[in-house]
Amino acid sequence: MKNILVLCTGNSCRSQIAHAYLKYFSFKKANIYSAGIEKHGVNPRAIAIMQEDGIDISEQSSNLVEEYLDIEFDFVITVCDHAKEVCPEIASNQSVRFHQNFRDPSKVRGNTQKIYDAFEETRNQIKDYCRSFVKHNL
């Protein structure tokens, strides 16, 4: 079974969403982990937008990458540019690395609709990416 780490800055939105979709699409073909360079907690809006797609991430936890240093990862997927810059210092050299920068919806400011649209757009992009990743790599 493959080990996959999804890494972003705060492990609150993008990596949490990717964690859930990779788990869903891989269906027991991989162990999925997500972590951050920092730990910001799972964003309530990420929980809500995933619930709309029928996936409950309310029990997922926000973790620091240091919590997984003893795991050999087959794949490390960075979902933000900051994590990509820091990743080579913390991930196993044996891991195959993938990078896709997704817009951070938690940084969007404006009215409720604008924020919702940002979370929905990011969720849909991550969903498509994860579906393709599993199809081509697992």
| Whether residue 87 lies in the annotated active site | yes
Long-range CB pairs of 129-136, under 8 A, 24+ apart, other chains included: 129/18, 129/100, 129/102, 130/18, 130/21, 130/22, 130/24, 130/25, 131/21, 131/25, 133/22, 133/25, 133/77, 133/98, 134/22, 134/25, 134/26, 134/29, 135/25
List 8, 57, 83, 130, catalytic entry:
8
List 65, 80, 83, 91, catalytic entry:
80
| Whether residue 80 lies in the annotated active site | yes
Radius of gyration of the CA atoms of the chain, in A: 14
| Whether residue 8 lies in the annotated active site | yes
Question: What one-character DSSP code corresponds to residue 72?
Answer: -
List 20, 30, 87, 91, catalytic entry:
87
Residues with active-site annotation: 8, 80, 87
